[in-house]
Structure 1
Amino acid sequence: MAGAILLPSTDQGSSGFDIKQSWAQAREWFDKKWNGDNSENAPLLNRERAASPPKLTDPEKIMLDLPSNQSIRDYLKIYTSEAHLAGTPNDKKQAEWTREQFESFGLKTKIDTYWPLINYPISHRLALISGPENLRFEAKLTEDPVDEDETSKDPNVVPTFHGYSKNGTVQGRIVYANYGRLEDFQFLKDQGIELNGTIALMRYGGNFRGLKVRVAEIFGCAGALIYSDPIDDGPLNKDNSSNPAKPYPNGPWRSKSSAQRGSVFYLSLAAGDPLTPGYAATENATRIKPEDSPALAKIPSLPLSWEDALPILKATQGLGVRGEKDWAGGLDQVDYFSGPTQGEAILVNHIENKITPIWNVISRIEGAQEPEKAIILGNHRDAWVYGGADPSSGSASLLELARVFGELLKTGWRPRRTIVLASWDAEEYGLVGSTEWVEDNKDWLDKEAAVYINVDNAVSGSNFAAKASPSLNRILYNAASDIRDPHTGKSVFEAWRADQKLSRNENPWIGQLGSGSDFVGFLDHVGIASIDLGFGGDYGVYHSNYDSFHWMEKFGDPEFLYHQTLVKLWGLLTLRLADSAVIPLYPSDYSAELVKYAKRLTDFAAPHTFPELERALDKLQKTTRRFERKRQRLEKRLAEYKSLDDIPSVLAKRLIKANSRLTYFERGFIDPEGISGRNWFKHVVYAPGLWTGYSSQVFPAIADGIDAKDYAQARYAEERAAQAIHEASKRLKDDY
Structure 2
Amino acid sequence: MYHPFAFQASEDEIDFRSTFLSALEVNLASNWSKIYTAEPHLAGTNYGLVNFTKEKFEEYGFKASVDDYEILVSYPNEHALNLLEEGDVIYTAPLQEDVLEDDETTGGDDLIPTFLGYAANGNVTAEYVYVNYGTKDDFELLKGLGVDVAGKIVVARYGSIFRGLKVKFAQDNGAIGVLLYSDPGDDGGITEANGYKQYPKGPARQESSVQRGSVQFLGGIGAAPGDPTTPGYASKPGCERQDPHDSIGKIPVLPISYREVKPILKKLNGHGVKMTQENWVGELEGFEYYTGPNKKTELNLYSDQFYNISTLTNVYGEIEGEIKDEVIVIGNHRDAWIKGGAGDPNSGSSSLLEIARGLGELQKQGYKFKRSIVLMSFDGEEYGLLGSTEYGEYAAKQLSKKVVAYLNVDVSVSGPVLGLQGCPSLYSVLKKAASILPYPEEGVGSLLDHYISHNGDKIGVLGSGSDYTVFLEHLGIPSVDMGFGPVKGSAIYHYHSNYDSYHWMETYGDKGFVYHNLMAKYLGLVALELSDREVLNLKVADYADYLIGYFEVVKKKIPKTWLKERIEDPDTLKNLLTYSEDETSFMKSTAHGYYKAKSPLPFPEFLKHGMCPKHQGSIMHLLEDHEDVTLGDLLDSTITDLEKVKETTEAFDAKSEDLQLQFDDRYSLPFWSRFKLRFLIIKQNKLLQYFERNFLTHKGLHQREWFKHIIYASGRFTGYAGQVYPALQEAIEDNDFDRLVDGLGVVSKTLRRIYGELS
CA deviation after TM superposition for structure 1 residue 341, in Å: 2.7
3-state DSSP of counterpart to 1:316:
coil
- Counterpart of 2:600 in structure 1 is none
- Counterpart of 1:603 in structure 2 is 556
**Please, which of 310, 324, 329 is the counterpart of residue 282 of structure 2?**
329
CA deviation after TM superposition for structure 1 residue 417, in Å: 0.8
Specify every segment of 5 or more residues in structure 1 that has no aligned partner in the other structure, as ranges: 1-55, 501-506
1:110-149 alignment, distance < 5 Å:
110-131=65-86, 136-149=90-103
**2-side partners of 1:140 and 1:60: how far apart?**
53
Q: Structure 2 length normalisation: TM-score?
A: 0.84
- Counterpart of 2:292 in structure 1 is 339
**Please, which of 514, 520, 527 is the counterpart of residue 463 of structure 2?**
514
**Please, which of 247, 253, 258 is the counterpart of residue 209 of structure 2?**
258
Q: Which amino acid is the alignment partner of residue 574 of structure 1? A: A
1:618 matched to 2:643: yes
1:709 matched to 2:662: no
3-state DSSP of counterpart to 2:690:
helix
Cα contact 1:270–1:680 (8 A) shared by 2:
yes
3-state DSSP of counterpart to 1:458:
strand
CA deviation after TM superposition for structure 1 residue 535, in Å: 0.8
- Counterpart of 1:17 in structure 2 is none
Q: Which range moves more in the overlay, 332-341 or 351-360?
A: 332-341
1:583-598 alignment, distance < 5 Å:
583-598=536-551
Q: Which amino acid is the alignment partner of residue 101 of structure 1? A: K
1:159 matched to 2:122: no
Cα contact 2:228–2:247 (8 A) shared by 1:
yes
**2-side partners of 1:123 and 1:239: how far apart?**
34
- Counterpart of 2:524 in structure 1 is 571
Q: Which amino acid is the alignment partner of residue 630 of structure 1? A: K
3-state DSSP of counterpart to 1:170:
strand
Cα contact 2:158–2:182 (8 A) shared by 1:
yes
Q: Which range moves more in the overlay, 217-226 or 718-727?
A: 718-727
**2-side partners of 1:578 and 1:392: how far apart?**
26
**Please, which of 365, 369, 387 is the counterpart of residue 319 of structure 2?**
365
| Cα 1:247/1:622, change in 2 over 3 Å | same
1:632 matched to 2:646: no
- Counterpart of 1:406 in structure 2 is 360
**2-side partners of 1:614 and 1:239: how far apart?**
52
Cα contact 2:127–2:294 (8 A) shared by 1:
yes
- Counterpart of 1:7 in structure 2 is none
CA deviation after TM superposition for structure 1 residue 645, in Å: 13
Cα contact 2:61–2:319 (8 A) shared by 1:
no
| Cα 1:272/1:492, change in 2 over 3 Å | same
3-state DSSP of counterpart to 2:429:
helix
1:15-26 alignment, distance < 5 Å:
none
Q: Deviations over 1:360-387 (max 9, x none)?
A: 001111111x221010000000011121
3-state DSSP of counterpart to 2:482:
strand
CA deviation after TM superposition for structure 1 residue 266, in Å: 1.0
Q: Percent identity?
A: 41
Count of residue pairs the alignment pairs up: 663
1:299 matched to 2:251: yes
**2-side partners of 1:182 and 1:597: how far apart?**
24
**2-side partners of 1:226 and 1:555: how far apart?**
26
| Cα 1:731/1:280, change in 2 over 3 Å | farther
**Please, which of 676, 685, 689 is the counterpart of residue 711 of structure 2?**
685
Q: Deviations over 1:153-193 (max 9, x none)?
A: 13872111111111222221110000111121111111111
Cα contact 1:233–1:540 (8 A) shared by 2:
no
1:178-327 alignment, distance < 5 Å:
178-233=132-187, 236=190, 245-268=196-219, 269-291=223-245, 294-323=246-275, 324-327=277-280
| Cα 1:509/1:631, change in 2 over 3 Å | closer
**Please, which of 418, 434, 437 is the counterpart of residue 483 of structure 1?**
437
**Please, which of 477, 485, 491 is the counterpart of residue 536 of structure 1?**
485
Q: Deviations over 1:664-688 (max 9, x none)?
A: 0000000011001011000000000
1:58 matched to 2:15: yes
CA deviation after TM superposition for structure 1 residue 635, in Å: 2.6
**1-side partners of 2:98 and 2:63: how far apart?**
43
CA deviation after TM superposition for structure 1 residue 642, in Å: 6.1
Q: Which amino acid is the alignment partner of residue 265 of structure 1? A: Q
Cα contact 2:191–2:205 (8 A) shared by 1:
no
CA deviation after TM superposition for structure 1 residue 57, in Å: 6.6
Q: Which amino acid is the alignment partner of residue 450 of structure 1? A: V
| Cα 1:259/1:70, change in 2 over 3 Å | same
CA deviation after TM superposition for structure 1 residue 727, in Å: 3.5
- Counterpart of 1:460 in structure 2 is 414
**2-side partners of 1:731 and 1:225: how far apart?**
52
Q: Deviations over 1:264-286 (max 9, x none)?
A: 11111311111111111101111
Q: Deviations over 1:166-225 (max 9, x none)?
A: 122222111000011112111111111121101110001111101111111111111111
Cα contact 2:37–2:502 (8 A) shared by 1:
yes
Cα contact 1:262–1:428 (8 A) shared by 2:
yes
CA deviation after TM superposition for structure 1 residue 540, in Å: 2.4
CA deviation after TM superposition for structure 1 residue 253, in Å: 3.5
| Cα 1:628/1:264, change in 2 over 3 Å | same
**Please, which of 339, 343, 347 is the counterpart of residue 389 of structure 1?**
343
Cα contact 1:236–1:330 (8 A) shared by 2:
no
CA deviation after TM superposition for structure 1 residue 643, in Å: 9.9
| Cα 1:346/1:363, change in 2 over 3 Å | same
**2-side partners of 1:239 and 1:487: how far apart?**
30
**Please, which of 490, 495, 507 is the counterpart of residue 450 of structure 2?**
495
**2-side partners of 1:155 and 1:692: how far apart?**
36
Q: Deviations over 1:48-89 (max 9, x none)?
A: xxxxxxxx971110122111564111111100110100011x
**1-side partners of 2:751 and 2:464: how far apart?**
22
- Counterpart of 2:393 in structure 1 is 439
- Counterpart of 2:566 in structure 1 is none
1:374 matched to 2:312: no
CA deviation after TM superposition for structure 1 residue 414, in Å: 1.9
- Counterpart of 2:685 in structure 1 is 659
CA deviation after TM superposition for structure 1 residue 604, in Å: 0.7
**1-side partners of 2:42 and 2:156: how far apart?**
25
CA deviation after TM superposition for structure 1 residue 730, in Å: 4.3
| Cα 1:730/1:238, change in 2 over 3 Å | farther
**1-side partners of 2:131 and 2:141: how far apart?**
9
Specify every segment of 5 or more residues in structure 2 that has no aligned partner in the other structure, as ranges: 1-12, 563-631
Cα contact 1:455–1:532 (8 A) shared by 2:
yes
Q: Which range moves more in the overlay, 510-519 or 152-161?
A: 152-161
**2-side partners of 1:153 and 1:724: how far apart?**
56
| Cα 1:69/1:321, change in 2 over 3 Å | farther
**2-side partners of 1:508 and 1:158: how far apart?**
42
| Cα 1:702/1:728, change in 2 over 3 Å | same
- Counterpart of 2:33 in structure 1 is 76
**Please, which of 450, 458, 475 is the counterpart of residue 526 of structure 1?**
475
1:95 matched to 2:50: yes
Q: Which amino acid is the alignment partner of residue 230 of structure 1? A: P
3-state DSSP of counterpart to 1:129:
strand
Q: Which range moves more in the overlay, 386-395 or 152-161?
A: 152-161
| Cα 1:267/1:599, change in 2 over 3 Å | same
Q: Which amino acid is the alignment partner of residue 106 of structure 1? A: G
Q: Which amino acid is the alignment partner of residue 209 of structure 2? A: S
| Cα 1:155/1:206, change in 2 over 3 Å | farther
Q: Which range moves more in the overlay, 150-159 or 166-175?
A: 150-159
| Cα 1:356/1:681, change in 2 over 3 Å | same
3-state DSSP of counterpart to 1:559:
helix
**1-side partners of 2:485 and 2:92: how far apart?**
36
CA deviation after TM superposition for structure 1 residue 623, in Å: 2.3
